[in-house]
Amino acid sequence: MFSLGKCWWCELLPSACEGCACSILRNAREGQRFLILLKGTAEFLALGPGQSPQPTEYSFVRFKEGTCCAIFTFSQPPEAAAQVPAEREFIIDCRSIAALSPLTTPC
């Protein structure tokens, strides 16, 4: 019999953000810097103009437990006309991250 209550397949969906990366980000502090390796890849993620081989350094902003979203910022090199690097936001589901490499902050 069909019920208008909670759907049966909702019970099969994950109820929490689980996994190593999610656990690390749940406890990360704002401003902590990371390199990010996505699942199914062999190189740290590089976002920027062209095909730069250098991985992007991401600064942690916050983690949203209800959606498993991790929010980071990163800087892109300045364009020829602008002398200031552009800061961008990067939002990712923590369950898509295979590895995080914490970066130390210089003293």
The structural domains of the chain, ordered by start, are 16-103 (2.30.30)
Q: DSSP readout, 62-87?
A: EEETTTTEEEEEEEEPPPSS--SPEE
Whether residue 7 has pLDDT greater than 60:
no
pLDDT tens for residues 69-83? 999 999 876 665 556
pLDDT tens for residues 12-66? 555 578 899 999 999 999 999 999 999 999 999 998 666 667 899 999 999 998 8
Whether residue 68 has pLDDT greater than 80:
yes
The predicted pLDDT at position 13 comes to 53
Residue ranges of alpha helices (H) inside the chain are 20-26
The predicted pLDDT at position 2 comes to 46
Q: Are the C-beta atoms of residues 35 and 44 closer than 8 Å to each other?
A: yes
Q: Could you tell me the pLDDT band of residue 105, with boundaries at 50, 70 and 90?
A: low
